[in-house]
């Protein structure tokens, strides 16, 4: 039996805590009274942040790990399964905006490891203790691009692997939320639009062009925490008309229901030509 120690102070594990949204999550959660476990590759940044958080009176552990590797993930997974994590923020990620056939295959696989496998394994590691305590929260950082699969929009980046990992995160999180109904554990897929972070600092061309509306990471984190309190499973920080999410769910439900039948659709009844 794993042991699930009762915690005295809440403890948040944040991946991708060395910059951007993850850093803001770590700072905000520490400010709200959490001890934190900070995960990323850049040790110096993590240690500087840990020092800042400890000066503020909270404990901060650092795990230097590359989540595109099995060893990196295993180290974080081992820590997440100790039973004392009360909040998990699966945030680490990077963009691979380019035509899929030009994307290095190992980098594509690394993105799936960091943004899919890691999310699955860390949720699996942290959840048993949360369920045993009937309390806990998981934020899986997705993207509004999770909704973009069917869009033929030339202004959007080429994004097959990136957006597909985020669509996975949304499906996984929504289905998990259903399984956790009736428990005190909340899960959320956080789907920001464009956020002002280092995510966009790839290559020589700045990706954040002047006309693109950009949200600050502090607002993204504030929205996520407010959404956890509201019980919103999908949180799109800029979304005003919440009914859109309901309608999107209803449309998917209708497609699902229409697809479960013993009868072949007339569209696919091809006359035999022999």
Three-state secondary structure call for residue 97 = coil
Give the Cα separation of 177 and 227 in Å (integer).
14
Which is nearer to ligand NAP, 132 or 202 (by Cβ)? Answer: 202
Q: Which residues contact 233 (CB under 8 A, 6 or more apart)?
A: 173, 174, 177, 187, 188, 189
Contact 189, 170 (CB under 8 A): yes
Active-site annotation holds for 268: no
Which residue of this chain has its Cβ atom nearest to ligand NAP in the complex? 20
With CB under 6 A as the contact rule, the residue among 7, 19, 117, 183 that binds ligand NAP is 19
Q: Whole-number minimum distance, CB 214 to ligand NAP, in Å?
A: 8
If binding is defined by CB under 6 A, does position 41 make contact with ligand NAP? yes
Q: Which of residues 120-149 bind ligand NAP (CB under 6 A)?
A: 141, 143
Contact 219, 238 (CB under 8 A): no
Contact 237, 193 (CB under 8 A): yes
Q: Whole-number minimum distance, CB 159 to ligand NAP, in Å?
A: 11
Give the Cα separation of 45 and 57 in Å (integer).
19
The full DSSP string for 117-136 is IHHHHHHHHHHHHHHHHT-E
Binding to ligand NAP by CB under 6 A, coded x per residue (else -) over 230-269, reads ----------------------------------------
Which is nearer to ligand NAP, 133 or 140 (by Cβ)? Answer: 140
If binding is defined by CB under 6 A, does position 195 make contact with ligand NAP? yes
Q: Which of residues 58-77 bind ligand NAP (CB under 6 A)?
A: 65-68
Name the site residues for ligand NAP (rule: CB under 6 A): 16-22, 40-42, 65-68, 91-94, 114, 141, 143, 192, 194-195, 197-199
């Amino acid at each position: 039996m794993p042991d699930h120690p009762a915690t005295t102070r809440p403890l948040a594990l944040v991946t991708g805590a060395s910059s951007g949204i993850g850093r803001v999550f770590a700072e905000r959660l520490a400010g709200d009274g959490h001890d934190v476990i900070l995960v990323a590759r850049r040790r110096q940044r993590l240690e500087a942040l840990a020092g800042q958080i400890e000066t503020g009176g909270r404990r901060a552990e650092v795990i230097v790990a590359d989540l595109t590797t099995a060893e990196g993930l295993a180290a974080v997974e081992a820590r997440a399964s100790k039973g004392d994590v009360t909040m998990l923020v699966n945030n680490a990620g990077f963009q691979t905006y380019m035509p899929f056939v030009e994307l290095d295959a190992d980098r594509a696989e690394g993105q799936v490891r960091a943004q899919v496998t890691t999310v699955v394994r860390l949720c699996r590691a942290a959840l048993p203790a949360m369920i045993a305590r009937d309390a806990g929260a998981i934020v899986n950082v997705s993207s509004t691009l999770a909704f973009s699969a069917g869009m033929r929009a030339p202004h959007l980046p080429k994004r097959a692997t990136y957006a597909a990992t985020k669509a996975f995160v949304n499906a996984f999180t929504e289905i998990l939320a259903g399984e956790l109904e009736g428990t005190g554990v909340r899960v959320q897929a956080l789907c920001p639009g464009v956020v002002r972070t280092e995510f966009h600092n790839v290559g020589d061309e700045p990706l954040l062009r002047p006309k693109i509306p950009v949200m600050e990471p502090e607002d993204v984190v504030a929205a996520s925490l407010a959404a956890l309190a509201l019980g919103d499973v999908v949180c799109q920080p800029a979304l005003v008309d919440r009914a859109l999410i309901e309608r999107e769910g209803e449309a998917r439900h209708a497609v699902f229901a229409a697809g479960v039948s013993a009868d072949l659709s007339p569209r696919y009844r091809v006359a035999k030509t022999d």
